[in-house]
Structures are given as C-alpha cells and as structure tokens.
C-alpha cells in the first residue's frame, strides 16, 4: 500500500514537473505574437557528440523594433536552409516553435502521469 502511494506521488511530481516545463511554450502560444521571421544566416556550434550543430539566425520586426536572435530550440540542415520561419515571440518569455508533435506528446505524457498519480494516491486499499 505504501509502495503504491509512493509511486503515485512520484508520478504526480513527474507529471507536474513536465507540465511546468511545457508552460513556457503554452504561454508563448497564448500571449505571444505569431511572427514570420526571415532566416538571415546560420550559427554553427561545435558539439561533442554530433560534430557541428547548425542553428538559424532569425530577424523580424516586433513592436517597431528589429529583433535578431539565434533560435537554438532545434537545429537545421545547412544544405536546406528555409528563407522564412513561423515562430511565436514575446519579449519577456522568449521564442517558441508553437504546437509541434513533440509538444503534443509531452503534454499527453504529463496529463497521463498526473491522472495516474492522483488515482494511485486516492485509491482505497483493503488492509
């Protein structure tokens, strides 16, 4: 009984931790602006495992200011560099790709962990 409740608490905490990590993307999709950014270059970073990782350098106008930043959320193929990218941006929060399949998978995992954690904690067990 104590083992199952401990497992439930661990599942609940893991689910909440995962949901907290996803909250930045959620806030950006709700409160950020969807912007079409121009890709003006590539920033190549030496990586121990993969050799070099290539990140796009984005430039766009936001609230009458020109913003230039490196989108280090995901790497791109330097041979197939897109000219434009759709991103969500907010000055105080940062930049996000929006609703991607990875975001959907981790959201579902978070919800399932929270539900099963609550079920494991609240279930009555015979003595």
The domain segmentation of the chain, as residue ranges, is 1-32+97-127, 33-92
Q: Mean of the pLDDT values across residues 33-60?
A: 82
CA-based torsion, 47, 50, 52, 56: positive or negative: negative
* b (16+ CB within 10 A) / e for 108-125: eebeebbeebeebeeeee
pLDDT at 53: 81
Whole-structure pTM value:
0.66
pLDDT digits (tens, 9 = 90+) for 83-97: 888 888 888 877 877
Least confident segment among 55-64, 75-84, 107-116: 75-84
Q: Is 7 helix (H, G, I), strand (E, B) or coil?
A: helix
Q: Mean of the pLDDT values across residues 9-14?
A: 95
pLDDT at 127: 64
């Amino acid at each position: 009984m104590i083992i199952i409740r401990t497992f439930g608490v661990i599942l609940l905490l893991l689910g909440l931790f995962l949901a907290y990590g996803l909250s930045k993307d959620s806030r950006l999709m709700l409160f950020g602006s969807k912007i079409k950014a121009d890709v003006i270059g590539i920033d190549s970073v030496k990586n121990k495992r993969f050799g070099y990782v290539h990140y796009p350098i984005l430039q766009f106008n936001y609230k009458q200011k020109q913003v230039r930043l490196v989108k280090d959320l995901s790497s791109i193929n330097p041979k197939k560099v897109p000219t434009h990218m759709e991103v969500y941006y907010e000055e105080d929060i940062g930049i996000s790709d929006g609703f991607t399949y990875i975001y959907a998978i981790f959201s579902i995992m978070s919800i399932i962990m929270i539900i099963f954690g609550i079920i494991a904690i609240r279930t009555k067990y015979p003595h």
